[in-house]
Amino acid sequence: MSADTALIVIDVQESFRQRGYWNEAEAQPFIANIQRLIDGAKAAGLPVIQIFHVDGDGPFALDSGFIKPLAPVSLEAEVVFHKARHSALVGSGLDVWLTENRIRKLLVSGIRTEQCCETTTRHASDLGYTVDYVSEATLTFAMTNAAGRTFSADEIRARTELVLDGRFARIVTVDEALNGAGQALAA
């Protein structure tokens, strides 16, 4: 791993457990994968950046008591940022921190696969960062479109991988992210 690499853990927070679509059984593989990624990044000496989504007066409000790491995920972040937009790079101060710390490669993980994780990945790529999207360390939930078709979490994840891979990021497993396997999109 390079000294210019950081792990970003996006919105892995208790707020999501308060939503009707939360599914504990579906979350368990994600929790195991993200913990393995966090532990591996720490062992490799990579900074781990925690991002919390904060807005409104519901479970994402600062005073809700839910803006804390999703249990049982154990995380001692190098730095914590709050965001109110889909991209962790908008208005949070993350972009300044990355520049000051000469970070050029990001490992992206978190909740939700197709929303804040994908948006942050696209934004980071457009800003010139090399991005490894650790898909198995992202979590999403089934969604139903206006026509009534329900898309499973697996379908949404596959769609996200399709549109990001080779354009905005390299899609990797936890092991590949930690081993730095393969060729980065931008040197």
Query: What pTM, to 2 d.p., does this model score?
Result: 0.93
pLDDT in tens, 91-112: 999 999 999 999 999 999 999 9
Query: What was the pLDDT predicted at 17?
Result: 97
Whether pLDDT at 41 is above 80: yes
Taking the alpha carbons of 136, 140, 141, 144 in that order, is the dihedral positive or negative? Answer: negative
Specify the range with the lowest mean pLDDT, choosing from 29-33, 117-121, 177-181. 177-181
Predicted confidence band of residue 180 (pLDDT cuts 50, 70, 90): confident
Mean per-residue pLDDT, 16-42: 97
pLDDT in tens, 8-20: 999 999 999 999 9
Q: Which fold has domain 5-179?
A: Rossmann fold (3.40.50)
Angle at 147 between CA 143 and CA 149, to 5 degrees: 45
Every domain of the chain and the residues it spans: 5-179
